[in-house]
Structure 1
């Protein structure tokens, strides 16, 4: 006969995951976790965004001033929203170590390796999320972030002029010439020419490969 296993009522396994419902509840829990962060914050950034994004950004800037290490991986969609590229550069200027990856699978924040906030939303509103406490799932989320980090390309180029720096960021994110032209207020023809020049300089056959080569050749800042 199969052995019957009795569950200890004091077992804490049921407390490993919290379900948060509602934009305000998610914003409040996120703020609480940020305020408790002392060493490191890891973020996967992609839309949709909660209603209090500006307040969250301000709190993250505060963590940077306090010496907390912040790493952010941006999706192409996050750069494509109005002001997205400027915001990514602003975060980098404030001390965030930022990278861009063409396939960010989810919205995620990991606080000091002790908790993670994971969005469950698939529509235009952030209305449900999970808080994951120390367990195998949290370890897996941190490992996933590390793997994406290794594949991603730094947002802020170091040895390019400002225009080519932003072009390289958008290029590595997978943007087409028309979208890059729109973000940089250039003609598509000018963008095409500058992309071709960069790819020739880097010896790259593909656009994303150009970003990877730039990183390896230290034309981009990394951390």
Structure 2
């Protein structure tokens, strides 16, 4: 029996959707945390992009004294090399792939789907996107790192070897150090992934300038002009 589908907030465009952005939140947040960004993106008025903001399951998080909160995986330590519980990462990958499949079944092809995420959500988006067996429209990895630290994930997909990746990070991030994002970026570039790296004068947050850059990137990736 398959796991229950992720609960989510879905924002439909005014016209029938022909593209989709699946946007994953960070630790302790919910889909409601990023849903308000859609009007802030100021996409073309008659765009046909469906936005999905899923809620991570609730589970105990070790670094927060076992407190139960929405989390894509357990965090056992702040050490980057053992921060992400890979059992949880793989379980979330299955859930996100099911979300992608829902969109494909609804008539939106994989190459019109962007995987996006912030912090923990960015970790899952990057990990899932690099391994996804069909070509995606793009991968957006905000203020995050690779769960495999200084190595690319195993079972990389050749289908997404040339998929555009947008990496953004705060220059004074005190939760996910800038160096963690840079480590992922260096690995991606060394393996010839088409990745755009941008930093902003912010901590572990989202900057107005960054929102404009995301909008421009989505407009290009999904041909919204």
Report the structure number with the largest CA radius of gyration. Answer: 1
- Structure with the higher fraction of residues in helix conformation: 1
Do both share a fold (TM > 0.5)? no
- Structure with the higher fraction of residues in strand conformation: 2
| Structure of higher RCO (CA pairs closer than 8 Å, 6+ residues apart) | 1
